[in-house]
Amino acid sequence: MNRIPVHVSMIMDGNGRWAKERGKERIYGHFEGVESVRACVEAAVETGVKYLSIYAFSEENWNRPQAEVDGLMELMVKAMASEMEKLNSNGVRFMVIGNRERLAPSLNQVIDSCMDMTSSNDTLTLIVFLSYSGKWDILQAAKKLARKAAASEADLEEVMSMDINGFDPFLATAGIPDPDLIVRTSGESRLSNYLLWQGAYSELLFVDTLWPDFRKEEFKSALSEYAKRDRRYGKVK
């Protein structure tokens, strides 16, 4: 495989449908989806991908039934606690990005512990987007810019002369390269308010596979598809 993307991002969709097809509760699909995350992490390390991000829970997901939300939060705590030693030993840096003010203190405590433990690792960076939306990210960045502009005349001039690249440091993803490839599972063909700014020039791949069935083979197949793409960034070749 000649062209390996630096950053692959996954919109994990289809857990509920996967469980329903098997006569199970939706949360069962989410539990099985953790196995797919593990498989994709292993595949990313094997293929040389440096950043793997997953859309785990959107701002809009807070509107789901409370029992499902509670189950998802509990699952995240358990998954982080059980996987972190292995991730750390394999050189994986762990990050969580999103509106963490909405998360329970107990979950934030686990997140901070995991991020601290793995902060110096550099084989792969695994980013979990949790309580995140693209519109939220752009809005919080705009608020930071507004505060900066209001600080002084010099700061206002700096903001007014800023180009597009100057906006990036104010995003929640500051310091992380934009995704080269965004993959959405389950046959849905939309971004669902995910990485709206950062994904401007990402290659998009929509696959029919439900997330719990998306494993190493499917991940590597997505990379093969990416290698066939001709990225032009608006230019003519």
CATH number of the domain where residue 188 is located: 3.40.1180.10
Which are the catalytic amino acids?
Answer: 13, 61
Residue 236 has pLDDT above 80, yes or no: no
Name the least confident of 103-107, 126-130, 175-179, 206-210: 103-107
Whether residue 29 is contained in a domain is answered as: yes
**Structural domains in the chain (count):** 1
Alpha-carbon span 10 to 37, nearest angstrom? 9
68 token code pair = 């499902």
Q: Give which of 89, 90, 85 is closest to 114, Cα–Cα.
A: 85
Whether residue 141 is contained in a domain is answered as: no
Q: Rank 25-29, 42-46, 153-157 by mean pLDDT and report only the highest.
A: 42-46
Query: Amino acid identity, residue 138?
Result: I
Alpha-carbon span 215 to 205, nearest angstrom? 16
* Domain of residue 25, residue span: 7-133+179-227
Residue 21 has pLDDT above 90, yes or no: yes
Whether residue 115 is contained in a domain is answered as: yes
Whether residue 169 is contained in a domain is answered as: no
DSSP state of 51: E
Give the predicted TM-score (pTM) of the model: 0.94
Task: Determine the longest span between alpha carbons in the chain, in angstroms.
Answer: 63
